[in-house]
Chain A
Amino acid sequence: MLSVKNIHANIDGREILKGINLDIKPGEVHAIMGPNGSGKSTLASVLAGREEYEVTEGAVSFLGKDLLELSTEDRAREGLFLAFQYPVEIPGVSTTNFIKAAVNEKRKYLGQEPLDAVAFLKMMKEKMALVEIDQRLLSRSINEGFSGGEKKRNEVFQMAMLEPKLAIMDETDSGLDIDALRIVANGINKLRSPDRAILLITHYQRLLDYIHPDFVHVLYNGRIVKSGKKELALELEEKGYDFITDDIDLTANQ
Chain B
Amino acid sequence: MKEKPDTLEQAVLTEYKYGFVTDIDTDVIAKGLNENTIRLISSKKNEPEWLLDWRLKAYNHWLKLEEPKWANIKYPIINYQDIIYYAAPKPKKQLNSLDEADPELLATFEKLGISLNEQKRLTGVAVDVVMDSVSIATSFKEQLSEIGVIFCSISEAVQLHPELVKQYLGSIVPMTDNYFAALNSAVFTDGSFCYIPKGVRCPMELSTYFRINTENAGQFERTLIIAEDESYVSYLEGCTAPMRDENQLHAAVVELVAHTKAEIKYSTVQNWYPGDKNGMGGIYNFVTKRGICKGDHSKISWTQVETGSAITWKYPSVILKGDYSIGEFYSVAFTNNHQQADTGTKMTHLGKNTRSRIVSKGISAGHSQNSYRGLVRASKQATNARNYSQCDSLLLGDKCGAHTFPYIEVKNKTAIVEHEATTSKIGEDQLFYCKQRGIDAETAVALIVNGFAKEVMNQLPMEFAVEAQKLLAISMEGSVG
Partner-B contacts on A (CB < 8 A): 48-51, 71-73, 75-77, 81-82, 84, 87-94, 97-99, 101-102, 105-106, 109, 141, 158, 162
Contact of A92 among B4, B428, B451 (CB under 8 A): B451
Q: Give the CA-CA distance A99 to B448 in the complex, in Å.
A: 13
State whether A94 and B451 are in contact (beta carbons under 8 Å apart), knowing that A50-B432, A88-B433 are contacts in the complex: yes
Q: Give the CA-CA distance A76 to B447 in the complex, in Å.
A: 18
| Contact indicator A88/B439 (Cβ below 8 Å) | no
State whether A88 and B430 are in contact (beta carbons under 8 Å apart), knowing that A93-B447, A93-B451, A101-B443 are contacts in the complex: yes
| Contact indicator B448/A93 (Cβ below 8 Å) | yes
Shortest Cβ distance from residue B164 to the other chain A in the assembled complex, whole angstroms: 44
Total contacts A-B at CB 8 Å: 77
| Contact indicator B424/A76 (Cβ below 8 Å) | no
Shortest Cβ distance from residue B9 to the other chain A in the assembled complex, whole angstroms: 13
Q: Give the CA-CA distance A65 to B324 in the complex, in Å.
A: 67
CB-defined A-B contacts under 8 Å, sample of 28: A48-B436, A49-B436, A51-B432, A71-B4, A72-B435, A73-B435, A73-B436, A73-B439, A76-B435, A81-B436, A88-B430, A88-B432, A88-B433, A89-B430, A90-B433, A90-B434, A90-B448, A90-B451, A91-B452, A93-B447, A94-B451, A98-B437, A101-B443, A102-B434, A102-B437, A105-B437, A141-B451, A158-B437
- B residues less than 8 Å from A77 (CB atoms): 438
Q: Give the CA-CA distance A84 to B448 in the complex, in Å.
A: 19
- B residues less than 8 Å from A71 (CB atoms): 4, 6, 435, 440
Q: Give the CA-CA distance A171 to B192 in the complex, in Å.
A: 62
What does the 1/0 interface line of B97-128 toward A look like (CB < 8 Å)? 00000000000000000000000000000000
Whether a CB of chain A sits under 8 angstroms from the CB of B25 is no
| Contact indicator B451/A105 (Cβ below 8 Å) | no
| Contact indicator A73/B438 (Cβ below 8 Å) | yes
| Contact indicator B447/A88 (Cβ below 8 Å) | no
| Contact indicator A105/B438 (Cβ below 8 Å) | yes
Nearest-CB residue, chain B, relative to A74:
B438
What does the 1/0 interface line of B416-443 toward A look like (CB < 8 Å)? 0000000010001110111111111001
Q: 5 new A-B pairs (CB below 8 Å) besides A98-B437, A101-B439?
A: A49-B435, A84-B433, A98-B439, A98-B447, A99-B437
Q: Give the CA-CA distance A112 to B432 in the complex, in Å.
A: 24
- A residues less than 8 Å from B443 (CB atoms): 101, 105
Shortest Cβ distance from residue A117 to the other chain B in the assembled complex, whole angstroms: 16
- A residues less than 8 Å from B4 (CB atoms): 71
Whether a CB of chain A sits under 8 angstroms from the CB of B454 is yes
Q: Which 6 A-B pairs have the closest CB atoms?
A: A92-B451, A76-B438, A102-B437, A88-B433, A93-B451, A72-B435
Nearest-CB residue, chain B, relative to A103:
B438
- B residues less than 8 Å from A99 (CB atoms): 437
Q: What is the number of residues of chain B that contact chain A, defined by CB distance less than 8 Å? A: 21
- A residues less than 8 Å from B452 (CB atoms): 91-92
| Contact indicator B436/A72 (Cβ below 8 Å) | yes
| Contact indicator B436/A101 (Cβ below 8 Å) | no
- B residues less than 8 Å from A106 (CB atoms): 438
- A residues less than 8 Å from B433 (CB atoms): 84, 87-88, 90
Shortest Cβ distance from residue B222 to the other chain A in the assembled complex, whole angstroms: 37
State whether A97 and B451 are in contact (beta carbons under 8 Å apart), knowing that A50-B432, A90-B430 are contacts in the complex: yes
| Contact indicator B439/A91 (Cβ below 8 Å) | no
Shortest Cβ distance from residue A185 to the other chain B in the assembled complex, whole angstroms: 22
Nearest-CB residue, chain B, relative to A78:
B438
Partner-A contacts on B (CB < 8 A): 4, 6, 424, 428-430, 432-440, 443, 447-448, 451-452, 454
| Contact indicator A92/B432 (Cβ below 8 Å) | no
| Contact indicator A76/B437 (Cβ below 8 Å) | yes
Nearest-CB residue, chain B, relative to A91:
B424
Q: Give the CA-CA distance A193 to B373 in the complex, in Å.
A: 57
Nearest-CB residue, chain A, relative to B426:
A90
State whether A88 and B429 are in contact (beta carbons under 8 Å apart), knowing that A73-B440, A101-B447 are contacts in the complex: yes
| Contact indicator B438/A109 (Cβ below 8 Å) | yes
Q: Give the CA-CA distance A94 to B451 in the complex, in Å.
A: 8
Nearest-CB residue, chain A, relative to B427:
A88
Nearest-CB residue, chain A, relative to B6:
A71
Shortest Cβ distance from residue B457 to the other chain A in the assembled complex, whole angstroms: 12
- A residues less than 8 Å from B436 (CB atoms): 48-49, 72-73, 75-76, 81-82, 84
| Contact indicator B430/A105 (Cβ below 8 Å) | no
| Contact indicator B440/A105 (Cβ below 8 Å) | yes
- B residues less than 8 Å from A88 (CB atoms): 429-430, 432-433
Q: Give the CA-CA distance A71 to B437 in the complex, in Å.
A: 12
Q: Which of A76, A81, A92, A93 has the most CB of B within 10 A?
A: A92
- A residues less than 8 Å from B429 (CB atoms): 88
- B residues less than 8 Å from A75 (CB atoms): 436
Shortest Cβ distance from residue A209 to the other chain B in the assembled complex, whole angstroms: 28
Q: Which of B6, B439, B443 has the most CB of A within 10 A?
A: B439
Q: Which of A87, A98, A141, A162 has the most CB of B within 10 A?
A: A98
Shortest Cβ distance from residue B216 to the other chain A in the assembled complex, whole angstroms: 41
Q: Give the CA-CA distance A91 to B453 in the complex, in Å.
A: 11
Q: Give the CA-CA distance A31 to B404 in the complex, in Å.
A: 50
Q: Give the CA-CA distance A110 to B451 in the complex, in Å.
A: 26
Shortest Cβ distance from residue A54 to the other chain B in the assembled complex, whole angstroms: 15
Q: Give the CA-CA distance A88 to B432 in the complex, in Å.
A: 9
- A residues less than 8 Å from B448 (CB atoms): 90, 92-93
Shortest Cβ distance from residue B369 to the other chain A in the assembled complex, whole angstroms: 22
Q: Give the CA-CA distance A50 to B431 in the complex, in Å.
A: 10
- B residues less than 8 Å from A90 (CB atoms): 430, 433-434, 448, 451
- A residues less than 8 Å from B435 (CB atoms): 49, 71-73, 76
- A residues less than 8 Å from B440 (CB atoms): 71, 73, 105
Q: Give the CA-CA distance A180 to B197 in the complex, in Å.
A: 64
- B residues less than 8 Å from A84 (CB atoms): 433, 436
| Contact indicator B438/A97 (Cβ below 8 Å) | no
Shortest Cβ distance from residue A126 to the other chain B in the assembled complex, whole angstroms: 19
Shortest Cβ distance from residue A208 to the other chain B in the assembled complex, whole angstroms: 25
- B residues less than 8 Å from A87 (CB atoms): 433
Shortest Cβ distance from residue B363 to the other chain A in the assembled complex, whole angstroms: 11
| Contact indicator A105/B439 (Cβ below 8 Å) | yes
Shortest Cβ distance from residue B55 to the other chain A in the assembled complex, whole angstroms: 47
State whether A97 and B437 are in contact (beta carbons under 8 Å apart), knowing that A72-B432, A91-B424, A92-B452 are contacts in the complex: no
- B residues less than 8 Å from A162 (CB atoms): 437-438
Shortest Cβ distance from residue A72 to the other chain B in the assembled complex, whole angstroms: 4
- B residues less than 8 Å from A98 (CB atoms): 434, 437, 439, 447
- B residues less than 8 Å from A81 (CB atoms): 436
- A residues less than 8 Å from B430 (CB atoms): 88-90
